[in-house]
Amino acid sequence: MVNAKISGVGGYIPEKVYDNAYMESIVDTNDEWITRRTGIKERHISADNEYTTDMATIAGKRAIENAGLTAEDIDLILLATVTPDYFTPACSCIVQHNLGAINAAAFDYNAACSGFVTGLTIAKQFIQTGTYKNVLVICADVLSKATDYKDRATCVLFGDAAGAAVVSASEERGIISTDIGADGSSGLAITSLAYRDDEEETEKRVSRKKDTIWMAGQAVMKFAVKAMADASQRVIDEAGLTWDDIELVIPHQANYRIVDSAIKRMGISKDKVFLNLEKYGNTSASCIPVALTQAVEQGKIKKGDKIVLVGFGGGLTWGAAVLEW
Ligand code: UT7
């Protein structure tokens, strides 16, 4: 059977920065609290007229170039977002047009922060069945446009970014194993409302704006640590490997404490973990592909290395993968 391998990666980070000093100026918080409880120092924020598809187009273009392909080589565009430009058309269709990917089918999906590993899992199926040769997986979010800047418990966490990867048919091993899952019974731990009229949910928001993000932070943190450790172990077992075989782990960049507790549970050293959350905060599904792109650019991943990607998020969902680079 043909394998699915990442052949190119790309990211995009908007220019504007909200540092902790700026957060101190808008809510009752301080640099010491944010740093100690999350590890975040800065987050990048999209311009007023910059939206998910604008950022996704740039990240997608960079990933295609990095793969040495052209837009016309792409057979399918998968786009993960919780902050779409429109409910319809799908962001992926707008990006298809922007890129000139005239041969690509396109659809959006929502697995919140677990979007990248979910996208790799979908791409792998289409490639292994021989349906497609090149699938572009893009994660993009303008979380700042859905953030309640009156809620100090959430507004210090989020930033904006886009990250992308081309997954191509290959004889090399590539994406060895993936594990995605959901616990819908805890779904209301992170919410942002669309059409549903839910007064109870709306009332939880400091701003009372129903399309902003609300979160039960402690509950999500507890879920995240176990979900990340368990899913990583399952993909490593399925790959027939042990933690000693893994050169690098790229986790969802939500909170330093979550990552720290999860890696203690996994029993691995911090040196194996790639973190950039200090500079960007939590950018939802984009966290992992942006970090992966930077790890590649910084020479932290060499051909043949085995790496683990692992995330969790709204839904609640999780996703982990073992890749051979
Ligand atoms: O992508 C997936 C999405 N979600 C996540 O990854 C988030 C998971 N959760 C978390 O990262 C953490 O729960 C938070 C960082 C959100 C909060 O940290 P925590 O250790 O769970 O704090 P807490 O909610 O228990 O709050 C502790 C105290 C509270 O004050 P009292 O009640 O002890 O007086 C909060 O009101 O900290 C207060 N607090 C703040 N203080 C200063 C909450 N936010 C802030 C803030 N600055 N920004």
Confirm whether 98 is a catalytic residue: no
Parallel, antiparallel or unpaired: strands 306-313 and 160-170: unpaired
Tell which residue, 134, 139, 88, has the closest CA to residue 112.
139
Mutational pocket test of ligand 1: of 83, 214, 218, the residue with most ligand atoms within 8 Å of the beta carbon: 218
- Distance in angstroms (rounded) separating the CA atoms of residues 69 and 77: 14
Catalytic hit among 91, 93, 113, 155: 113
Give residue 1's pLDDT: 78
Which residue is closest in CA terms to ligand 1's atom 30? Answer: 153
Q: 293-317 in b/e burial notation, b at 16+ Cβ within 10 A?
A: bbbbeeebbeeeebbbbbbbbbbbb
CA 174 – ligand 1 centroid, Å = 38
Ligand 1 pocket member 8 (CB < 6 A): no
Tell which residue, 77, 204, 53, has the closest CA to residue 132.
77
Which residue is closest in CA terms to ligand 1's atom 43? Answer: 153
CA dihedral (233, 238, 241, 242) in degrees, to 10, reads 20
Atom of ligand 1 nearest to the CA of 287: 1
pLDDT along the chain (325 residues), means of 10: 96 98 98 98 98 98 98 98 98 98 98 98 98 98 98 98 98 97 97 95 95 96 96 98 97 96 93 97 98 98 97 98 98
Cis omega before residue 316 (within 30°)? Answer: yes
Ligand 1 pocket member 215 (CB < 6 A): yes
Ligand 1 pocket member 221 (CB < 6 A): yes
Give residue 151's pLDDT: 97
Confirm whether 44 is a catalytic residue: no
CA 218 – ligand 1 centroid, Å = 7
Mutational pocket test of ligand 1: of 221, 259, 290, the residue with most ligand atoms within 8 Å of the beta carbon: 221
On whether the CB atoms of residues 12 and 55 are closer than 8 A, the answer is: yes
What is the chain's alpha carbon radius of gyration, rounded to the nearest angstrom? Answer: 18
Give residue 188's pLDDT: 97
Domains of the chain (ranges, CATH numbers): 3-172 (3.40.47.10), 177-324 (3.40.47.10)
This model's pTM is above 0.85 = yes
Ligand 1 pocket member 106 (CB < 6 A): no
Confirm whether 252 is a catalytic residue: yes
Ligand 1 pocket member 37 (CB < 6 A): yes
